């Protein structure tokens, strides 16, 4: 486990020394969300009706935004070659990168979302549901996005391509994430939605590291 | 599977496909002519859908072939990653746009059928939405396989994507079904019903067979083109 923790700590240190990268992602999330009331109109009922979907979509886009640099920096400066040569599994290294990505994007997004939810007129309990669903759902986005990032490493127009690959695969998470908030708003129990979100995260956790490692090995060849 | 490995050699595959192509092309044209006659002229109009039921003879087989095409992509991806089957990469490259076209035909014909039947070109019905997402998965595969200067790299990346996609397809389908029942409970007329009358079923199956032949023909032709393209690439590099 030590090398994994070391790798996570290294990525977090890199972000800590250039906090602007995370700030830009969070700023994008806020600005993108704020555009919706401006486009749709300030009618409170409409806004509270669409809030969950809008916030979830914006969180999805924001977490994709930072992914194209997930492996690219390591690819360019040779760190990836060292990871390939290292005596521990590349799968764990890829997983560690995704964990670090989640800590600096998924987690802040989940904590920031309720503030924006207030502006959309979401009720108190819906705000909790929003945070809970984002906390359980965003790890899947980081893992699937990490796979797309590994596949597009060194490709032409990799940013746009990454979004094209990752978005259809993120549809289930989006549906159940936004669905959790909506179910609670209708006065029903949203535990099922959270459990399915957790199941999706576990499937991604069990499957994407292998695919990521396979993709990274090709990039290193 | 000795058959697969026999065809792994592109030159041997060419000899096989060049012998098979003329007969296959003839069979495809004949099957399509007969199928279209049965579907457009011979079969009776549906008592509910009227003449628009004829769109289904193109629509339903396209949907089947779009789904089968993605399964083919995944199988070819596995063959490429596991056995480094050299022809699998070329065939995947050839098959992906064909499958995408069938998905698009399915969406367009469905939309044209929906206008008179449901009164709208598009509804967020579960099956429409999953087919749209399948189309996006095809687009991602096509874009990824062509995004690298080194085409080997693109082929293998696309192979991994096809496998990830095929694992995800049932999950996507399930979640879209769930989402649809959450949002709009059974407001949409459902096609089919308990049983399809033989006067409709036989032309439908015939058209499915004819379009399957067309699918195979197009994939074989495009694979030959891919082999030529790779030869040119190698010749240019040398």
Q: Hey, of A171, A185, A188, which one would you mutate to test binding to chain B, going by the most B CBs within 10 A of its CB? A: A171
Q: How far apart are CA A120 and CA A139, in angstroms?
A: 25
Cα A89–Cα B159–Cα B78 angle in degrees, nearest 5: 80
Q: Is residue A214 within 8 Å of residue B160, measured between CB atoms?
A: yes
Q: Which sign, positive or negative, has the C-alpha torsion A8, A29, B144, B71? A: positive
Closest residue in B to A168 (Cα) is B133
Please report the ipTM that was assigned to this predicted complex.
0.88
Residue B79: alpha-carbon gap to chain centroid: 19
CB atoms within 10 A of CB B83: 13
Q: How far apart are CA B72 and CA B62, in angstroms?
A: 15
Nearest to B154 by CA among B162, B146, B163, B142: B146
At B46 the three-state DSSP class reads strand
CB atoms within 10 A of CB A52: 26
Q: How far is CA A29 from CA A17, A20, A22, A126, in A?
A: 22, 14, 11, 19
Residue-range domain boundaries for chain B: 28-184+199-237
Residue B183 has a pLDDT of 58
pLDDT at B189 over 60: no
Residue A24: alpha-carbon gap to chain centroid: 15
pLDDT in tens, A95-154: 999 999 999 999 999 999 999 999 888 888 889 899 999 999 999 999 999 999 999 998
Helix or strand (DSSP H, E) at B198: helix B198-237
Q: What is the pTM of this model?
A: 0.88
B191 DSSP assignment: S
pLDDT in tens, A154-210: 888 888 899 999 999 999 999 999 988 888 888 788 888 999 999 999 999 999 999
pLDDT in tens, B14-58: 888 888 899 999 999 999 999 888 888 877 776 667 777 788 888
Residue of B186 and A142 predicted with greater confidence: A142
pLDDT in tens, A24-65: 999 999 999 999 999 988 888 888 888 999 999 999 999 988
Closest residue in A to B168 (Cα) is A169
Q: How far is CA B137 from CA A216, B111, B143, in A?
A: 21, 20, 10
CB contacts of B139 in chain A (<8 Å) are 164
Q: How far apart are CA B97 and CA A105, in angstroms?
A: 35
| B132 to chain A, closest Cα gap in Å | 10
Residue B186 has a pLDDT of 42
CB contacts of A49 in chain B (<8 Å) are none
Q: How far apart are CA A133 and CA A129, in angstroms?
A: 6
| A19 to chain B, closest Cα gap in Å | 31
């Amino acid at each position: 486990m030590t090398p994994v923790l070391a790798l996570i700590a290294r990525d977090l240190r890199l972000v800590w020394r250039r906090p602007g990268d995370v700030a830009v992602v969070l700023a994008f999330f806020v600005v993108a969300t704020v555009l919706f009331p401006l486009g749709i109109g300030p009618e409170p009922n409409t806004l509270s009706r669409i809030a969950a979907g809008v916030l979830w979509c914006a969180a999805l886009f924001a977490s994709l935004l930072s992914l194209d640099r997930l492996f690219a920096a390591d690819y360019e400066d040779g760190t990836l070659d060292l990871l390939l040569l290292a005596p521990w599994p590349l799968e764990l290294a890829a997983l560690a990168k995704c964990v670090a990505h989640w800590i600096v994007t998924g987690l802040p997004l989940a904590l920031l979302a309720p503030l924006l939810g207030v502006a959309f007129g979401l009720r108190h309990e819906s705000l909790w549901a929003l945070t809970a669903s984002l906390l359980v759902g965003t790890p899947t986005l980081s893992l699937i996005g990490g796979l797309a990032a590994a596949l597009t490493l060194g490709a032409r127009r990799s940013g746009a391509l990454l979004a094209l690959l990752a978005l259809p695969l993120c549809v289930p998470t989006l549906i159940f994430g936004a669905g959790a908030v909506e179910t609670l708003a209708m006065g029903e129990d949203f535990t099922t939605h959270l459990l399915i979100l957790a199941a999706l995260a576990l499937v991604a956790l069990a499957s994407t590291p292998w695919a990521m490692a396979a993709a990274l090995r090709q990039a290193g060849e | 599977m000795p058959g697969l490995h026999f065809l792994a050699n592109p030159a041997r595959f060419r000899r096989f496909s060049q012998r098979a192509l003329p007969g296959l092309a003839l069979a495809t044209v004949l099957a399509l002519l007969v199928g279209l006659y049965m579907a457009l002229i011979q079969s009776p109009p549906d008592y509910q859908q009227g003449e628009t039921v004829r769109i289904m003879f193109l629509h339903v087989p396209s949907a089947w072939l779009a789904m089968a095409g993605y399964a083919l992509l995944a199988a070819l991806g596995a063959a490429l990653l596991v056995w480094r089957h050299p022809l699998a990469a070329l065939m995947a490259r050839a098959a992906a746009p064909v499958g995408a076209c069938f998905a698009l035909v399915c969406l367009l014909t469905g939309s044209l059928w929906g206008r008179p039947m449901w009164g709208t070109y598009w509804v967020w019905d579960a099956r429409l939405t999953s087919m749209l997402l399948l189309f996006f998965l095809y687009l991602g595969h096509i874009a990824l396989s062509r995004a690298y200067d080194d085409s080997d790299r693109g082929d293998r990346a696309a192979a991994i994507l096809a496998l990830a996609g095929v694992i995800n397809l049932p999950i996507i389908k399930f979640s879209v079904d769930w989402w649809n029942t959450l949002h709009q409970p059974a407001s949409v007329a459902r096609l089919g019903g308990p049983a399809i009358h033989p006067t409709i079923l036989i032309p439908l199956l015939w058209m499915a067979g004819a379009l399957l032949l067309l699918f195979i023909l197009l994939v074989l032709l495009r694979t030959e083109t891919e082999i030529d393209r790779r030869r040119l690439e190698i010749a240019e590099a040398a």
